Amino acid sequence: MGEQGKKVLMGTKCDLLFLTPPFVFLYNQGGSQLTPFQPETYLLRHPIIGVYMWIKTRKRMKTLSIIVLMVLSACSQTVMTALPETLPPEQQTTPPSNSQEEEQKPMKTPLIIAHRGARSLAPENTLAAARKAFEAGADMWELDVSVTADGELFIMHDDTLERTCNAREVFPDRRPWNVYDFTLAEIRQLDCGTWFTLEDPFQQIAAGNVSVEDQQAYKGEKAPTLREALELTKANNKAVNIEIKEQPDEATARLAVEKTVALVAELGMDDGKQVVISSFEHEYLRHARELNSHIPIQILTKNQIPDLESYLASFGTNSVNPKLSTWNYKQLKAFSDQGILANVWTVNEAEEMKALVDANVNGIITDFPQVLRALLQE
């Protein structure tokens, strides 16, 4: 049988077992010797479990022997001369610790979301600011939707036209220049760009980061309609966060939500990738969700929301857009681990950006998309 084993194993040095009652021997080819075999030691401790068969019949019958040739893992160029009581160090394995067993959520690169466009480089909430955001490497820009006196949707953050447009000059007798007191045609007469070059709100002109050519181009910049803003976003293969501002009454609020949702669908941008709708008025978002469930919604908040996960789920979303000071970085990291997508605003300091990246937030809303892009490329 030893010779047959050699033929089967093609001359390799292997340990063979001979099970011949009443003795069992381990035959070592390299040492040409028989060694008494202890199955409870070998079969339990050896890395490759063999087959050990020992069959006996009742007392009246003779012992039935089955000779089993077992090819053990000792087949190698190294001859095994003894069966160790313990495995050698290189064959010992240590069970993985709990920390190794737990799957760690991968760190993600947050979305760069330009707040009202790249408003540190161009007049806020204008097409110029959107273009600058795209040039700076933003994934998305955020804008604010308001409603004119004649029910048209246009882009404006404030409730009045005074700060970012020359309404005082063009309509001196229309104080306090409330947005909803002006028609779209009237608003289109306004210059909503020159103020930026005069005030340099983020000191980027003084820093040399806004060219003279751009400064000249901003003069006469118009407040765009929502349609114009969406068409520009689509043409540049980017995304936009539409914030629906608080409206003066329920009827205007309903009109703002319904016309926004309808326009997004009309332009074929309700695929869940190009447009999200956000608001501090959470019932606006519920209404938007009822009208078109394909458009993602994001809950804006300045305050902590108890049982946030359940609250978001009640609106059919897992996204929240908190002010930077609402939750600390540890809490934001815990939200990320829960699967909550946090898009934090407004973040302009590099150290805060880095901390939010470490907190694994979904997006960072900033007036300085150019700074965030450079930080993420480091």
Chain segment 194-249, per-residue pLDDT in tens: 999 999 999 999 999 999 999 999 999 999 999 999 999 999 999 999 999 999 99
Sheet bearing 15-20, strands edge to edge: 15-20, 23-28, 33-36
pLDDT in the model for residue 107: 78
Instruction: Please answer whether residues 338 and 316 qualify as being in contact, where contact means their C-beta atoms are separated by less than 8 angstroms.
Output: no
First to last CA, the chain: 69
Least confident of 33-37, 154-158, 292-296: 33-37
Q: How high is the pLDDT of residue 44? A: 41
Q: Which sequence spans correspond to the domains of the chain?
A: 2-82, 111-159+223-376
By C-alpha distance, which of 357, 260, 370, 362 is closest to 321? 362
Burial of 234 (0-12, 13-18, 19+ CB in 10 A): middle
Neighbours of 124 (CB within 10 A): 26
pLDDT at 365 over 50: yes
pLDDT tens-digit readout, 338-348: 999 999 999 99
pLDDT for the residue 191: 98
pLDDT band at 296 (very low <50, low <70, confident <90, very high): very high
* 12 has pLDDT over 50: no
Domain 111-159+223-376 superfamily per CATH = Phosphatidylinositol (PI) phosphodiesterase (3.20.20.190)
Q: What ranges in 208-317 are assigned the alpha helix state H?
A: 212-218, 226-235, 250-266, 282-291, 308-313
pLDDT at residue 178, rounded to an integer: 97
Is the separation of the CB atoms in 278 and 289 below 8 Å?
no
Burial of 112 (0-12, 13-18, 19+ CB in 10 A): buried
Nearest to 186 by CA among 160, 151, 149: 149
Instruction: Give pLDDT tens digits for 240-287.
Output: 999 999 999 999 999 999 999 999 999 999 999 999 999 999 999 999
CA distance 225 to 146: 9
Confidence (pLDDT) at 108? 85
Q: Is the pLDDT of residue 122 over 70?
A: yes
Is the pLDDT reported for residue 81 higher than 70?
A: no
Round to whole Å and give the CA distance between 14 and 31: 11
Residue ranges with strand state E in 311-368: 319-322, 341-344, 363-366
Whether the CB-CB separation of 230 and 267 falls below 8 Å is answered with yes
- pLDDT band at residue 168 using 50, 70 and 90 as cut-offs: very high
Rounded to whole angstroms, the Cα distance separating 236 from 131 reads: 9
**Claim: this prediction has a pTM higher than 0.85:** no
